[in-house]
């Protein structure tokens, strides 16, 4: 389709509908008796890093409670420091599996540091 014939999307308020997620897809409150494992990953920014981090949770059939990723670029006397930080909170892991996931996260190419803690 050429640019001359492409229709521009309408931005009028009548073209937008309010969306309310069905009950089954709204975030669930985690079970208070299960521990939540928190991972903090510091890495070189890479387009493939976030999917590789999430893979270790997804392949266990789990959905993280929290995923937060941010890129920070800082300049100092030594040059420019470019870092991708990923915070991940997961429930449903036993302690051995949680440690294994932490070790696997540390083996991802470009990961500089992994911090792990347990809440609950």
* 72 touches 85 (CB < 8 A): yes
- Condensed to tens digits (0 to 9), the pLDDT of residues 50-72 reads 999 999 999 999 999 999 999 99
Whole-prediction pTM = 0.71
> What is the distance between the alpha carbons of residues 5 and 31, in angstroms, rounded to a whole number?
53
Number of H helices, E strands in the chain: 2, 4
The DSSP code sequence of 47-103 is: TTHHHHHHHHHHTTT---SEEEEEEEEEEETTEEEEEEEEEEEEES--HHHHHHHHH
Domain 33-109 grouped into CATH 3.40.50.11540: no
Taking the domains of the chain in order of start, what are their residue ranges?
33-109
pLDDT digits (tens, 9 = 90+) for 28-48: 555 557 899 999 999 999 999
């Amino acid at each position: 389709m050429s640019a001359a014939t492409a229709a521009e999307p309408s931005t009028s308020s009548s073209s937008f509908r309010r969306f309310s997620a069905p009950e089954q897809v709204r975030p669930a409150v985690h079970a208070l008796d299960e521990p939540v494992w928190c991972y903090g990953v510091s890495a070189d920014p890479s387009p493939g890093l976030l999917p590789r981090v999430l893979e270790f949770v997804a392949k266990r059939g789990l959905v993280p409670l929290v995923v937060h990723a941010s890129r920070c670029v800082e300049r100092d006397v030594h040059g420019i420091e470019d870092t991708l930080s990923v915070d991940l909170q997961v429930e449903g892991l036993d302690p051995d599996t949680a440690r294994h996931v932490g070790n696997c996260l540390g083996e991802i190419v470009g990961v500089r540091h992994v911090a792990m803690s347990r809440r609950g």
